[in-house]
């Protein structure tokens, strides 16, 4: 139970919602297997596989959205439509029109959908009601939005907002690279991507490469700006910070994982230990990351 990405959002501090009521409302949108005539199904599942839709430990919550999709490649549909169109042309003496082709495609899709393979994935969400954190383990905002949209569908009230900082991540990363030093508590690692703002969007990417030399500063001076930068916090968490304030390639120090393994005797205890350590570390890490970006922009109530 270790997150690999963080899409960051904010809830009121504290978010005063009753756990039992929250779980009761989640039950409005449980996961059911994808019907044979539908391309996708999504809903809440038990993150710990014990039946509870919310896993709670030390007032930290974990929920999981399961998404099942039927895989029907467009190439398969196109080939079947082509064959049927050719047969129709041979029968009636002229090619089917646009409307006929559209109806044919819809019919083919409907016929093939029940035979399509399915793929299932889960997206985990960590919620800290006291500190107001809502963090989705997703590699893109689009995947995070799946969970958010389904929560809005289930909850009576869901006052979620985007997280904004005084300094944009891009401006802050540029300052750190230009000065050759990260803010207190952080170190700059050896991965970075810089992009120009012009139409060509010229880009340069460094992988496992020292970033403190004049070469990177020359790229900054020429107008390129960082879109991704590898950092380590407190020698405990390494990650990639993006220009959109996404935390990617999140990796926890192996010593932390070993500590969790030592304290657990079976799978349930391991899950508990992993979640407790992860949320404990992230609860300290996120405020320092926000402070490094000049602090949070708080919207007036």
Question: pLDDT, tens digit, for every residue of 82-101?
Answer: 888 888 888 888 888 888 88
What pLDDT, on the 0 to 100 scale, is given for residue 291?
Answer: 97
- Higher-confidence position of 4 and 89: 4
Q: Which two tokens stand for residue 139?
A: 């590699």
Is the domain of 181 the same as that of 106? Answer: no
Question: What sign does the dihedral 136-141-143-149 (CA atoms) show?
Answer: positive
Both 93 and 200 in one domain: the answer is: no
Residues 110, 188 within the same domain: no
Does 288 fall in a domain?
yes
Q: Judge contact between 125 and 63, C-beta under 8 A.
A: yes
Residue 82 lies in a domain: yes
* Confidence band of 263 (pLDDT split at 50, 70, 90): low
Residue 229 lies in a domain: yes
pLDDT at residue number 260: 66
Mean pLDDT value across the chain: 90
Lowest-pLDDT range, 54-58, 112-116, 221-225, 287-291?
A: 112-116
Of 48, 82, 114, the residue that ends a domain is 114
My answer on whether 202 and 268 are in the same domain is yes
**Within a 10 A sphere around the Cβ of 18, how many other Cβ atoms?**
9
Residues 110 and 189 in one domain: no
Assess whether 174 and 275 both reside in one domain: yes
**Pair 192, 94 in one domain:** no
pLDDT tens for 8-67 read 999 998 899 999 999 999 999 999 988 777 788 899 999 998 889 999 999 999 999 999
Count: domains in the chain: 2
Query: Residue 240 — pLDDT band, cuts 50, 70, 90?
Result: very high
**Bond from prior residue into 21 cis (ω within 30 degrees of 0):** no
14: in domain: no
Q: Is there a single domain that holds both residue 187 and residue 109?
A: no
In a domain, 147, yes or no: no
Q: What is the pTM of this model?
A: 0.84
In a domain, residue 161? The reply is no
Same domain, 193 and 287: yes
Closest CA to 5 of 189, 242, 256, 250: 250
Compute CA distances 277 → 19, 127, 262, whole Å.
21, 15, 12
In a domain, 282, yes or no: yes
**Statement to judge: residues 202 and 280 lie in one domain:** yes
Which has more pLDDT, 110 or 229? 229
Q: Is residue 285 located within the same domain as residue 192?
A: yes
Q: Is residue 142 a part of any domain in this protein?
A: no
233: domain range? 169-292
């Amino acid at each position: 139970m270790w997150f690999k990405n963080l899409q960051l959002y904010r809830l009121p501090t504290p978010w005063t919602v009753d756990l039992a009521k929250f779980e009761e409302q989640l039950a409005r949108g449980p996961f059911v297997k994808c019907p044979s005539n539908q391309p996708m199904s999504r809903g809440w599942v038990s993150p710990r596989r014990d039946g509870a839709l919310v896993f709670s430990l030390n007032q930290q919550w974990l929920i999981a959205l399961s998404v099942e999709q039927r895989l029907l490649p467009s190439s398969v549909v196109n080939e079947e439509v082509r064959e049927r169109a050719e047969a129709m042309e041979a029968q009636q003496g002229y090619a089917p029109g646009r409307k006929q082709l559209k109806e044919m495609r819809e019919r083919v899709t409907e016929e093939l959908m029940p035979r399509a393979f399915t793929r299932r994935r889960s997206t985990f969400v960590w919620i800290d009601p006291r500190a107001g954190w809502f963090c989705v383990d997703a590699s893109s905002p689009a995947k995070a939005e799946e969970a958010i949209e389904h929560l809005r569908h289930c909850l009576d009230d869901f006052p979620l907002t985007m997280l904004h900082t005084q300094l944009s991540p891009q401006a802050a990363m540029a300052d750190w690279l230009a000065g050759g030093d990260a803010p207190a508590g952080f170190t700059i690692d050896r991965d970075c991507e810089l992009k120009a703002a012009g139409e060509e969007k010229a880009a340069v990417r460094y992988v496992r490469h020292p970033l403190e030399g004049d070469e990177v500063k020359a790229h900054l001076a020429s107008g390129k700006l960082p879109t991704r930068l590898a950092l380590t916090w407190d020698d405990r968490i390494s990650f990639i910070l993006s220009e959109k304030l996404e935390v990617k390639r999140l990796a926890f120090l192996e010593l932390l994982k070993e500590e969790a393994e030592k304290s657990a005797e079976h799978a349930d205890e391991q899950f508990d230990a992993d979640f407790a350590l992860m949320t404990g570390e992230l609860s300290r890490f996120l405020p320092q990351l926000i402070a490094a970006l000049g602090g949070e922009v708080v919207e007036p109530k």
